């Protein structure tokens, strides 16, 4: 038998992975679908295609306008892409090494095969797949619009170039702790914003920085790699199959492994107080859900920053949206935290858990409040202070109400004082109307009273 090369070994793995995934999907499909469902699904799909075709006819004028708009600003779009694309990969490093390198790939590298070659094959395969996807999307865009093939090729080229050049930086950054990642993310935002602001060829500076990073990282590509963490992300990516999840009604979670290098010595000290323990549990949870958190909060923050330049009544709508969304997120996290890592099984002190979350929510809420303060400073009038007071107190009140409801649900109790939900909704609506009726802001005072009453109405902590 001829000795198997790395390429053959990787291909052997890919072929069998695909075969197994097809088998699993077929099983899931058989479990979910019957002939009637398939028939109606096909009918629906056919109708959707037909509708899309008709829509194309109807919207050809609009699409042609969009195409002309893009063709006229190609250089601007290119400069912007060059400046901001690295952010995408640095952001991605919070959760993924960028390359799917599962336990199986790692085990191949333990056999008489070179690790770097297996890794290179994994990169090659995944990047080719990505290129194929870009070409497919470009073909659809070319079919629907009047964008020229050269423009489409240029955009694909830029996207693919960054896909290749950011492989090593993302791979190495993924191995770092959270703070360096956030530091690099901030630096990339700053560099991107500066490049866009200055414009023209300065936008290529991030590309030069990425090229330099590649040269520097090449020699240390496999030094200090957290393989457990890399393969954990890879396994999740490979085996988290949507159809299978739907059929089995089991949501696949990433299997977290021990991360010796990620635990600081100070965190290894025994807990001295109960509150320290609860804060640590929240900290661990936030770290595990960094990506989700940064997406959710990033969206709200971005909305509150970008909408500053829109008419005032629209900004008040954005504030109302944030007042509604932020507490809902906090409540979802609260419930999920108690269900994750078997924590639900333990007799936790729910009130202390909530208190710990409130502290974190306060810090985050303050971050979201900053652009609102900037808005009122930029649009200063005699109502500004009262309005800000209203927004902060309303936010705190709604947060308390949502958390109390979540806590009641977890404790399997009826939520006391159901009218609080109505008050919360009223506060959100009033925030949206503050621009037209600023005097509504005076309701901050009764809200403050409600806040203090709520504290008294809380159940006493369990003595568990």
For other proteins, give the closer residue by CB, 6 or 163: 6
Give me the helix-helix angle, 290-306 and 274-288, nearest 10°: 80
Q: Tokens 């507490």 correspond to what residue?
A: 327
Distance of CA 43 to the CA centre of its chain: 35
Q: At closest approach, how far in Å is the CB of 8 from other proteins?
A: 7
Q: In angstroms, what is the minimal distance from the CB of 3 to other proteins? A: 3
Token code pair at residue 231? 């393969």
Identify the CA nearest to 357 among candidates 389, 391, 303, 402: 402
DSSP state of 266: G
Which residue's CB is nearer to other proteins, number 65 or number 222? 222
> Residue 9 or 82: which CB sits closer to other proteins?
9
Nearest distance, CB of residue 182 and other proteins, angstroms: 21
Would you say 117 or 335 has its CB closer to other proteins? 117
Measured from the Cβ of residue 264, the count of other Cβ atoms closer than 10 Å reads 9
- Alpha carbon separation from 272 to 98, 158, 275 (Å, rounded): 39, 53, 9
Burial of 340 (0-12, 13-18, 19+ CB in 10 A): middle
d(CA 83, CA 45): 39
Between the CA of residue 135 and those of 68, 138, 140, 165, what are the distances in Å? 21, 5, 9, 19
**CA–centroid distance for 315 within its chain:** 24
Closest distance to other proteins from the beta carbon of 102 (Å):
8
Q: Which is nearer to other proteins, 256 or 335 (CB)?
A: 256
Nearest to 424 by CA among 403, 394, 390: 394
19 vs 453, which CB is nearer to other proteins?
A: 19
Q: How far is the CB of 280 from other proteins (least distance, A)?
A: 20
Question: Contact at 8 Å (CB) between 188 and 206?
Answer: yes
Do residues 148 and 130 touch, judged by C-beta distance below 8 A?
no
DSSP annotation string for 187-223: HHHHHHHHHHHH-GGGGGHHHHHHHHHHHHHGGGTTT
**E runs forming strands in 187-324:** none
Residue closer to other proteins by CB (options 51, 111) is: 111
The minimum distance between CB 207 and other proteins, in angstroms, equals 33
User: C-beta of 126: minimal distance to other proteins in Å?
Assistant: 16
How near is the Cβ of 238 to other proteins at its closest, in Å?
A: 8
Residue whose token pair is 């958190």: 293
Contact, 96 vs 233, CB < 8 A?
A: yes
Q: Residue 280 gets which letter from DSSP?
A: H
Which residues here bind other proteins, judged by CB under 8 A?
A: 1-4, 8-9, 12-13, 16-17, 20, 102-104, 107-108, 110-114, 235, 239, 260-261
Of 40 and 222, nearer to other proteins (C-beta) is: 222
Residue 306 beta carbon to other proteins: minimum distance, rounded to whole angstroms:
41
Residue number, 3 or 412, with CB nearest to other proteins: 3
In the bound complex, what is the minimum distance in angstroms from residue 230's beta carbon to other proteins? 14
Give least dist CB 340 to other proteins, A.
24
Give 110 or 346: the residue with its C-beta nearer to other proteins: 110
Residue 94, helix vs strand vs coil: coil
Chain centroid to CA 263: 24
Return the number of the residue (19 or 378) whose C-beta is nearest other proteins: 19
Sequence-distant (≥ 6) Cβ neighbours of residue 4 within 8 angstroms: 12, 113
């Amino acid at each position: 038998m001829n000795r198997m090369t790395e390429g053959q070994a990787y291909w052997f793995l890919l072929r069998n992975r695909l075969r197994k995934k097809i088998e699993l999907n077929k099983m899931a499909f058989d479990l979910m679908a019957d002939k009637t469902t398939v028939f109606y699904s096909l009918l629906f799909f056919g109708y959707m295609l037909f509708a899309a075709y008709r829509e194309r006819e109807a919207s050809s004028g609009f699409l042609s306008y969009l195409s002309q708009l893009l063709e006229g600003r190609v250089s601007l779009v290119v400069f912007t892409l060059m400046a901001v694309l690295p952010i995408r990969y640095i952001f991605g490093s919070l959760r993924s090494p960028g390359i799917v390198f599962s336990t199986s790939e790692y085990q191949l590298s333990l056999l008489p095969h070179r690790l770097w070659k297996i890794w290179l094959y994994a990169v090659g395969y995944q990047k080719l797949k990505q290129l194929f996807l870009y070409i497919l999307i470009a073909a659809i865009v070319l079919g629907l619009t009047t964008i020229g093939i050269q423009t489409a090729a240029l955009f694909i080229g830029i996207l693919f170039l960054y896909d290749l050049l950011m492989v090593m930086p993302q791979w190495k950054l993924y191995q770092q702790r959270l703070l360096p990642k956030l530091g690099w993310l901030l630096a990339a935002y700053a560099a991107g914003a500066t490049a866009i602001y200055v414009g023209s060829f300065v936008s290529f500076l991030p590309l030069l920085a990425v090229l330099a990073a590649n040269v520097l990282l090449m020699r240390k590509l496999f030094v200090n790699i957290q393989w457990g963490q890399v393969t954990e992300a890879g396994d999740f990516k490979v085996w988290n199959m949507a159809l299978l999840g739907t059929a089995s009604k089991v949501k696949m979670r990433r299997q977290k492994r021990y991360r010796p290098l990620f635990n600081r010595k100070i965190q290894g000290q025994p807990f001295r107080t109960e509150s320290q323990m609860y804060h640590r549990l929240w900290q661990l949870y936030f770290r595990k859900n960094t990506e989700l958190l940064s997406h959710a909060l990033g969206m709200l923050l971005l909305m509150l920053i970008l909408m500053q330049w829109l008419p005032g009544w629209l900004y008040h709508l954005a504030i109302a949206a944030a007042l509604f969304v932020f507490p809902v997120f906090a409540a979802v996290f609260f419930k999920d935290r108690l269900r994750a890592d078997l924590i639900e099984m333990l007799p936790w002190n729910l009130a202390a858990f909530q208190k710990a979350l409130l502290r974190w929510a306060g810090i985050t809420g303050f971050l979201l409040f900053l652009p609102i303060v900037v808005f009122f400073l930029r649009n200063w009038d005699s109502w500004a202070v009262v309005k800000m007071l209203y927004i902060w107190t309303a936010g705190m009140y709604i947060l308390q109400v949502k958390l109390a409801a979540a806590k009641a649900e977890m404790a399997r109790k009826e939520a006391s004082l159901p009218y609080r939900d109505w008050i919360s909704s009223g506060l959100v609506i009033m925030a949206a109307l503050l621009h037209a009726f600023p005097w509504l802001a005076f309701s901050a005072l009764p809200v403050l009273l409600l806040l203090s009453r709520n504290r008294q109405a809380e159940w006493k902590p369990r003595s568990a």
